[in-house]
Amino acid sequence: MTDPIQPPPKKNPLNRSWVSTIPPAARSRAALGLTAAAAEGRFMLQVCADCGATQYPPRDACHKCLSIDLPWQDIIPTGELLAETTIRATTDIYFRDRLPWRAGTVRLDAGPPMICHIHGDVKPYARVRLINRLDRSGQGVILALPEKDTPNMADDPHLRAISSDPSHRRVLIVDGRNPNTPDFAKALKDAGAAMILIGLSEDWLPFQGRKALEDVGAQIIPLDVTDTKSLQRLAGEFGGKIDILINNARYIRPGGVIDRTDTNLAARELEVNALGLMRLAQALGPAMCSRTADGTNSAVAWVNILSAWALANEPSFGSFAASQAAALSLSQSLRAEFRASGLRLMNVFVGPTDDEWHQPLPPPKVTPAAIARDVVRGLHGGFEDVFCGDVAKDLNERFRRNPKVLEREMTGGGV
Amino acid sequence: MSRARQSYQGVALVAPTSIPYQRYSIDTAHFWIARALKGSLDAAGIAPADLDGFSAASFSLFPDTVVGLTQHLGLSPRWLDQIPMGGASGVVALRRAARAVQAGDADVVACVAGDTNHIDSFRQLLSSFSRFSQDAAYPYGFGGPNAVFGILTDHYMQTYGATREDFGRICVAQRTNALKNPGAVMTKPLSMDQYLAGRPISDPITLFDCVMPCAGSEAFLVMTVKEAEKRQLPYATVRGAIERHNAHADDPIQLRGGWTLDIDELWQMSGYSPIDMDLVQTYDDYPVISMMQIEDLGFCKKGHAGEFLCGKDMTVSGDFPHNTSGGQLSGGQAGAAGGFIGLVEAIRQVTGQAGPTQVKGAKRAVISGFGMVNYDRGVCTAATVIEGGGA
């Protein structure tokens, strides 16, 4: 079993904070296939379309038959630890601060041997299951886990380093008025979050949900993503204490382009959904980036709740979908800007949510509890992309297959 | 089935030169290569402009290649080669140069290896070493070769029951040899107790299993026996030579190298067998690799090197002289020169020019090379049997 992580002591402000470093990030283009799979937590390798040989490390041509047709496929992630080492000296500054580091060679049941990280609970020469996850550089890496779960296994330093585990961490949920906030707060509390802050815009207006949130132990603070000043005040007070930020601010109205007569609603959608993300990041991003090596409760993840319509426009909510596409594009820039710090940006794409705005749409619709579950699952896995609900998953599949076909289907051209 | 190899008859190896290594150097690979080249050319009485064949091996020449070296060093060869094979580069350079000389493409080929070692240059070399290492080895703790050979050593110990003492014997004997070599980087004696108490580096590898990256260079010349005799140079002949790359790719972890595929042919070509050798030079970036070579070259059965060496004295005056100059473990690893150190020392040995490390009456040597941990194992292997001229 793993020794459980103890709640960190109060930080001594006089001590120097660890400077953020990241593990080696350089990869070939082929190896980025592993990263793309890890972004969703999938264990995939290249398999030769001509001879069926499984490839590793990622390649441009099959090592058995020279075929260049090497599609990525899901692979059964089990194998055997053949040999290992514990690294006690390195010239790399990220690993140097984290020694000793256990690594070894696992022979995958599907074929190739792989050098991988080894979880502390794996016994020498034991059977293992492998996971493919993003490390702090944002690249896919393989970690060997014990075949069966062990007590406190998430607290293992290898696993903690590649997850965005909420336990012992402090979370800000941006929009207390969003109907999904109580479920988020509860799920994060259950996942071991040490502190939950909940933003409330226009806090002079009555807020029915206050008691429910306070009952979970959340602290409610003024926050309006359209008000730069409120964000600066918030950053001054809480900027150095936010380890996970969940941006669930959302402004949604039906309608596309010419079924509206002006751009007022569209402006509001962009103000909250796209520029709100930008303002939040400008206010809180730098402080979070500077705290990614700050011990047990280091800053670890930035989460955006986005509509899956960010991928392809749904014309009945055409203007809202455009604001989601804008937010998605901004999130990609932000992810790149976070890269050097190791702060993870996770987008949770949801299908139509079960609320008043989607009332005319047919099921399936996503419940707040389901989104909350997927947020916590994504944090545990350290993912970058989570697709929540059947509609979002389906839309993602179709988007990958052919975005142009999807566009026509979304506008009623498909049967 | 391949055809029978042509012999290396008529080829002479002369003018072995080793420039004493330095832990760190502010100079460049060009500087180190120039010094070794000059050493060999001076010994043979050849002016740089008259040299018609040149082969270089180096990791730290960037942005230059051997082409840049010709202009930099004022050479005008009609035969030019660069060997990117690290620890196998010495034997491979010899093989290619010997064929060029036999065929008349060049009269004299200077084979040179050299590298510099700046502060932090080892880390930089590692981070751009190979694509597979970059993609699939370094992200896992960045232990460099220590981590790969830690895994390999663990597997070897577990498979064959080798002990740390087995590895220690090699390191301790080589230190004894190095103490006789004024050019060696390591200058203090090493006992088995000190070896066993070495600081852990990448389990089960400890401090004295590791080579010290340094700056240095090595060179020798390849010409015809006729030319060597005309110039009255002591020379060694090549009895046989083999190389092989990416052998046994399906072995999940490396316990053997490509030597196993060609070793019978090597001994057959040479007309000798392992017991005829007066000394053995293995590529010793880690002692487990020396043991693998001693097995794969045919000195003992697979997995039995520990037991075999236990009964041997591996020092210069012993019954199994091994890595007589101290090898890389005690001499230091000067980049690609690590692929030359054993060969250059062996040429000195079989021509009676080894001075303080001379094995008495040494006439014949086997030298093997092992290079390039492209991902999880060394990919290049090579070996040669040489013999002192007039033997």
- Model confidence over A90-102: pLDDT tens digits? 999 999 999 999 9
- Per the prediction, chain A carries an average pLDDT of 94
Q: Residues A135-158: what's their mean pLDDT? A: 95
- What's the CA gap between A54 and A34, in Å, rounded? 14
Percent of chain B whose predicted confidence (pLDDT) is above 90: 94
Residue B205 contacts A where some CB pair is shorter than 8 Å:
yes
CB contact under 8 A, A105 and B155: yes
For testing contact with chain B, the best of A21, A115, A132 (most B CBs within 10 A): A115
Closest C-alpha to B14, from B241, B224, B240: B224
Q: Tell me which chain A residue has its CA closest to the CA of residue B154.
A: A83
- Model confidence over A294-315: pLDDT tens digits? 889 999 999 999 999 999 999 9
Quote the pLDDT of residue A413.
62
Q: Tell me which chain A residue has its CA closest to the CA of residue B143.
A: A90
- Model confidence over A171-184: pLDDT tens digits? 999 999 999 999 99
Of A88, A90, A101, the CB nearest to B200: A88
A141 interaction partners in chain B (CB closer than 8 Å): 139-140
- What's the CA gap between B37 and B54, in Å, rounded? 10
Q: B139 and B57 in contact (C-beta within 8 Å)? A: no
Residue type, A212: A
Quote the pLDDT of residue A212.
87
Polymer length in residues for chain B? 391
Question: Residue A414 — pLDDT band, cuts 50, 70, 90?
Answer: low
Closest C-alpha to A39, from A392, A399, A384: A384
Q: Residues A378-390: what's their mean pLDDT? A: 96
- Name the strand (E) or helix (H) holding B113: strand B109-115
Q: In the structure encoding, which two tokens stand for residue A27, read together?
A: 């990869």
- Name the strand (E) or helix (H) holding B160: helix B144-160
Q: A51 and A63 in contact (C-beta within 8 Å)? A: no
User: What are the residue boundaries of the structural domains of chain A, listed by start?
Assistant: 32-162, 170-410
Quote the pLDDT of residue B1.
53
Residue B138 contacts A where some CB pair is shorter than 8 Å:
yes
Q: Tell me which chain B residue has its CA closest to the CA of residue A112.
A: B252
CB contact under 8 A, A137 and B139: yes
Quote the pLDDT of residue B390.
63
B134 interaction partners in chain A (CB closer than 8 Å): 24, 26-28
- What's the CA gap between A280 and A291, in Å, rounded? 17
Q: Is B48 helix (H, G, I), strand (E, B) or coil?
A: helix
CB contact under 8 A, A83 and B202: no
Q: In the structure encoding, which two tokens stand for residue A114, read together?
A: 């792989």
What's the Rg (C-alpha) of chain A?
22
- Name the strand (E) or helix (H) holding A236: helix A228-238
Q: B381 and B88 in contact (C-beta within 8 Å)? A: yes
Give the pLDDT of chain B (391 residues) as one tens digit per residue.
Answer: 578 889 999 999 999 999 999 999 999 999 999 999 999 999 999 999 999 999 999 999 999 999 999 999 999 999 999 999 999 999 999 999 999 999 999 999 999 999 999 987 777 777 778 999 999 999 999 988 999 999 999 999 999 999 999 999 999 999 999 999 998 999 999 999 999 999 999 999 999 999 999 999 999 999 999 999 999 999 999 999 999 999 999 999 999 999 999 999 999 999 999 999 999 999 999 999 999 999 999 999 999 999 999 999 999 999 999 999 999 999 999 999 999 999 999 999 999 999 999 999 999 999 999 999 999 999 999 999 999 986 4
Of B199, B249, B253, the CB nearest to A83: B253
Q: In the structure encoding, which two tokens stand for residue B36, read together?
A: 């070794």
CB contact under 8 A, B143 and A28: no
Class (C level, CATH) for B11-120+215-230: alpha beta
Q: A114 and A105 in contact (C-beta within 8 Å)? A: yes
Quote the pLDDT of residue B391.
47
Quote the pLDDT of residue B120.
78
- In sequence order, what DSSP letters do the residues of A213-230 get, joined into one string? HHHTT-EEEE--TT-HHH
User: What are the residue boundaries of the structural domains of chain B, listed by start?
Assistant: 11-120+215-230, 143-211+236-386
CB contact under 8 A, A103 and B134: no
Quote the pLDDT of residue B335.
93
Q: B13 and B238 in contact (C-beta within 8 Å)? A: yes
Q: Tell me which chain B residue has its CA closest to the CA of residue A137.
A: B139
Please report the ipTM that was assigned to this predicted complex. Answer: 0.93
Calculated CA dihedral for residues A177, A180, A181, A187, nearest 10 degrees: 170
- Model confidence over A261-276: pLDDT tens digits? 999 999 999 999 999 9
- Model confidence over A321-332: pLDDT tens digits? 999 999 999 999
- Model confidence over A8-51: pLDDT tens digits? 888 887 888 888 899 999 999 999 999 999 999 999 999 999 99
CB contact under 8 A, A88 and B253: no
Sign (positive or negative) of CA dihedral A333, A334, A338, A343: negative
Quote the pLDDT of residue A264.
96
Q: Tell me which chain B residue has its CA closest to the CA of residue A56.
A: B136
Q: In the structure encoding, which two tokens stand for residue A125, read together?
A: 């020469």
Q: Which CATH superfamily is domain A170-410 in?
A: NAD(P)-binding Rossmann-like Domain (3.40.50.720)
Higher pLDDT, A365 or B384: B384
Q: Residues A153-178: what's their mean pLDDT? A: 94
CB contact under 8 A, A90 and B141: yes
Query: In B116-268, at which residue ranges do the beta strands (DSSP E only) sit?
Result: 200-202, 205-206, 215-224, 236-245
- Give the CA count within 13 Å in the CB-facing half-sphere of B283: 32
- DSSP conformation class of A362: P
Quote the pLDDT of residue B3.
85
- The CATH code for residues B143-211+236-386 is 3.40.47.10
- What's the CA gap between B14 and B98, in Å, rounded? 12
Chain B: closest CA distance from residue A132 (Å): 12
Q: Which residue has the tokens 């692979």?
A: A75
B245 interaction partners in chain A (CB closer than 8 Å): none
Quote the pLDDT of residue B115.
96
Quote the pLDDT of residue A415.
55
Q: A277 and A327 in contact (C-beta within 8 Å)? A: yes
Q: Tell me which chain A residue has its CA closest to the CA of residue B145.
A: A90
Of B146, B199, B252, the CB nearest to A105: B252
Quote the pLDDT of residue B46.
97
Q: Is B112 helix (H, G, I), strand (E, B) or coil?
A: strand
Residue B140 contacts A where some CB pair is shorter than 8 Å:
yes
Sign (positive or negative) of CA dihedral A185, A187, A189, A193: negative
CB contact under 8 A, A28 and B123: no
Chain A: closest CA distance from residue B138 (Å): 7
